[in-house]
Amino acid sequence: MISDIIGKSKKIVIKIGSHTISDDNGKVNFEIMSNIVEQINDLINEGKRIIIVSSGAGICGIAAINKWNRKEDINYKQALCAIGQVELMNAYKGLFEKHGIIVAQMLLTREDFSDHIRTLNIRNTLFTLVDEGVVTVINENDSVSVEEIKIGDNDTLAALTANLWNADLLILLSDIDGVYDKNPKDHHNAELIEEVYDIDGLLEEIDARGKSNFGTGGIITKISAARKVNEYGIPMILTNGKKANIIKKLRSREEKATIFFSTQF
Ligand code: ADP
């Protein structure tokens, strides 16, 4: 199922989590980033079109200006993301350049999806970039997003983007193979759930506790992202972006993941 869906999807939104592109010590892992970019390049060479939603500005910011590591003040956090966003884009630019691909950046807020005119403008820009073969990297505009107007996590932003673009598939690259019946980081016997057709049923079944330090989502935002895109008939795959060549391996059935394709709407 997963292999076939990736194979036939022409328009794919790929969300890259902060944990995916960083090590346990919170440093950016360029090897993983580079491998993800290579896989995206392969998909593009197959004729697929890709939009990226990427987290990691905070981590990249800390790498650039380490002395702010412990600043809890919201102004500092937002300033850190402003610095890190440049680092993040610089990394993507360098990696895609090797494949002759130009990258663009779009920083969005919740308002961009709730105001009709703004949404239309984003759509037009996005469609133009995609048509011209540019890979757009989307992130939340953290330096203007205060709590009240925040989307809050990039799983949701990726789902909104997939719906806006009318994508064929949303892939969330995280640091776990998929959804388990309980947090696999705390329970060795946690079992992977490979196919989800009923999200309400899933939520009753699993233990979804446990969240990361710098990832803002946790498993719950991933499940609600699935609900959002499934409502539009778009399937979502949650998989482990830390594993080299994961998209290729899902296609060759060497690796497993979770696919959400709820038909209850
Ligand atoms: P990302 O940085 O990719 O957005 P997060 O750290 O926000 O990822 O969320 C994924 C984490 O959610 C996993 O690493 C895992 O520790 C945790 N988690 C909690 N419950 C579950 C569950 N039932 N199945 C899978 N992961 C879970």
What is the secondary structure of 17-34 as a DSSP string? -TTTTB-TTS-B-HHHHH
Shortest-distance Cα residue to atom 15 of ligand 1: 183
User: For tokens 């956090």, what's the residue?
Assistant: 77
Region 190-204 average pLDDT? 93
Region 135-155 average pLDDT? 85
The confidence score (pLDDT) of residue 31 equals 95
In the chain, the percentage of residues whose pLDDT exceeds 70 is 94
Atom of ligand 1 at shortest range from CA of 174 = 3
Give the bridge partners for 262, in sequence order.
Answer: none
Q: How far is the CA of 33 from the centre of ligand 1 (A)?
A: 19
Region 234-260 average pLDDT? 97
The confidence score (pLDDT) of residue 218 equals 82
User: For tokens 């696919």, what's the residue?
Assistant: 259
Amino acid at 162: A
The confidence score (pLDDT) of residue 212 equals 44
Shortest-distance Cα residue to atom 4 of ligand 1: 17
Q: Using pLDDT thresholds of 50, 70 and 90, give the confidence band for residue 250.
A: very high
Q: Does pLDDT of 149 surpass 70?
A: no
Task: Judge contact between 59 and 214, C-beta under 8 A.
Answer: yes
Poorest-confidence range of 45-49, 57-61, 104-108, 173-177? 57-61
Higher-confidence residue of 38 and 73: namely: 38
Shortest-distance Cα residue to atom 5 of ligand 1: 218
48-93 confidence digits (pLDDT tens):
999 999 999 888 888 888 777 777 788 888 888 899 999 999 999 9
- Structure tokens, 18: 């902060």
237, containing H or E segment: strand 236-240
User: For tokens 């890259």, what's the residue?
Assistant: 16
Region 138-157 average pLDDT? 84
Task: Judge contact between 24 and 63, C-beta under 8 A.
Answer: no
Is the distance from the beta carbon of residue 206 to the nearest atom of ligand 1 less than 6 Å?
A: yes
Domains and CATH numbers, the chain: 2-260 (3.40.1160.10)
Terminal-residue alpha carbon distance, the chain: 20
**Pairing mode of beta strands 103-108, 192-193:** unpaired
Shortest-distance Cα residue to atom 25 of ligand 1: 179
- Structure tokens, 34: 């580079």
Task: Judge contact between 199 and 265, C-beta under 8 A.
Answer: no
Q: How far is the CA of 101 from the centre of ligand 1 (A)?
A: 31
Q: Does pLDDT of 96 surpass 90?
A: yes
Task: Judge contact between 190 and 180, C-beta under 8 A.
Answer: yes
- Structure tokens, 260: 């959400």
Distance CA 162, CA 227 (A): 12
Q: How far is the CA of 188 from the centre of ligand 1 (A)?
A: 14
Task: Judge contact between 201 and 42, C-beta under 8 A.
Answer: no
Region 12-28 average pLDDT? 89
Q: Does pLDDT of 25 surpass 90?
A: no
Q: For 258, which DSSP code?
A: E
206-246 confidence digits (pLDDT tens):
876 654 434 456 899 999 999 999 999 999 999 999 999 99
Q: Report CA 66 to chain centroid distance, whole Å.
A: 25
Shortest-distance Cα residue to atom 6 of ligand 1: 212
Q: How far is the CA of 137 from the centre of ligand 1 (A)?
A: 22
